[in-house]
Amino acid sequence: MKKGFSFSYIEKNNMIIRHLLKDGRINPYYRMIVKYSKDMELFEHPFLSWDNLSYFCDEPDEDGLDDYLLNHALQEGKKTSISVITKRSEEIKEAFSKEYLIHEIPRENGYSRVYVCRKGSLIDYFDEDSLFDYYEKTGVHFNDGSLTILLNTPMIEIVSGKVDFKNNVVYSPIMRMDGSDGISVSYGGAAGLISGLLFGYPIESSISMIEYNAFGRD
């Protein structure tokens, strides 16, 4: 990534541990640790990558117009949506207006957060059965229809705030088939998973973050 962010890869006690690195070292200002079982079958998809997650941790250029986001991420099929903070939102809207949907949120000091999404919903780009099968295998269970609702909601409605999926987060510890901890997710709890799909983060990283938040693991 342009400012040197990446993730380590360490095998320890049958776990994969990935630390966020800045220029090859653990970042003291933005700590992120992703953990998952060494035996976990990874979910492969062209819109999901560790590069996308590394980019999330990166700092934007002062004007927010980064080459990767503007010229590669959507055009080369690397993710379904992008988000930038910039003072030059009009240039972004002009560049993407013909093929993509755009939502702008004004911020202080002349900045705006601009979301650019592919048309349609996540279900147009991800297979629902494959997603649910994967979540079940990794111990994530949904105790309502939240994920199905959000997968079928137009992405532009999610980023524009028309769908409130970040409140009422409920995580309930359960037991996986092998006796290890698992997690049950209700409506608000799907936020992290949906955000990961929107912006192209590996599913195992989203699951790890949910488990970390729920159980307070380090």
Q: Share the mean pLDDT of the chain.
A: 76
Whether residue 71 contacts residue 91, with contact meaning beta carbons closer than 8 Å, is answered with no
Sign of CA dihedral 153, 159, 162, 166: positive
Domain boundaries, the chain: 54-117
Question: What per-residue confidence (pLDDT) applies to 184?
Answer: 52
Amino acid in position 144: D
Q: Single out the residue of 100, 104, 188 nearest to residue 142, CA to CA.
A: 188
Amino acid in position 186: S
Helix and strand totals (H; E) in the chain: 8, 11
Q: Is the pTM of this model over 0.75?
A: yes
User: Phi then psi for 82, rounded to 5 degrees?
Assistant: -130, 160
> Strand 140-142 to strand 101-106: parallel, antiparallel, or no bridges (unpaired)?
unpaired
Token pair, residue 41, equals 């079958």
Lowest mean pLDDT among 12-21, 37-46, 62-71, 104-113: 62-71
Once rounded to an integer, what is the mean pLDDT over residues 108-134?
A: 91
User: Phi then psi for 74, rounded to 5 degrees?
Assistant: -85, -45
Q: Which CATH number fits domain 54-117: 1.10.3470, 3.30.110, 2.40.128, 2.40.10?
A: 3.30.110
